[in-house]
Amino acid sequence: MFMKQGAEAKVSVCDFYGKPCIVKERFPKAYRHPSLDKTLTLRRIKAEVRAIMRCRLQGINVPALYFVDLERSCIYMEWVKNSRSVRDYIDKVQGQGDAMDSRLKQLATSIGHVLGRMHTHNIIHGDLTTSNMLLQGSLDEYKLWLIDFGLSDIEAAAEDKGVDLYVLERAILSSHPKTREFFEDILSAYRTANKGGADAVIDKLEEVRLRGRKRTMVG
């Protein structure tokens, strides 16, 4: 059953030996030479699989991999059922008055800790948004999952980690007004979880922010 299509792949749901399964299929890009397209697609699939496996080894909640079909450019993975995106969660919580601050702070702490652990092990997500994070459980007790590693990489450079955080910051501020403090709470938890590397990464984040502001002013 077809679910959605993005710029890089289409996503559908199927049954994989009795388990509900998400199938992510990368489709050919007509504007690229076929041999180049196949090479780049294969590289991206391998990077995505590598990042997911490394996250699981570190106890980070990501979908389990069931099967990788390189011929069809498909990844079969666990469907995180009964979950909602962090984006939907924030929208719901922001309408709840007094409960909002404590719930958002708790969520920010969870996100910061996960991202800190991820970057400690040099995993770059590449597309950190509140739509690519899922919560499974109630409003107050949940598991945080990371999904969609289609632009991921394994990279030790603080620059890449800073860009990862910048992408998330822009996504939060554009999708959720009045959440500047929420992102600062994420950074606070990130520092705790990535003690050895957080300072260098956040310094790079500031540099990336500055470049972004310059581009905005120039147009």
3-state SS, one letter per residue, for 156-211: CCHHHHHHHHHHHHHHHHHHCCCCHHHHHHHHHHHHHHCCCCHHHHHHHHHHHHHH
Q: Which of 86, 71, 67 is nearest to 15 (CA)?
A: 67
The residues carrying an active-site annotation are 127
Cα 116 to Cα 1, 35, 109, 153: the distances in Å are: 35, 37, 10, 16
State both tokens at 10: 């289409």
Q: Tell me the C-alpha distance between 2 and 19, whole Å.
A: 17
Distance from chain centroid for Cα 182: 17
Cα 68 to Cα 26, 46, 50: the distances in Å are: 12, 9, 12
Cα 60 to Cα 9, 101, 111, 120: the distances in Å are: 24, 25, 11, 12
Cα 54 to Cα 7, 65, 124: the distances in Å are: 25, 12, 11
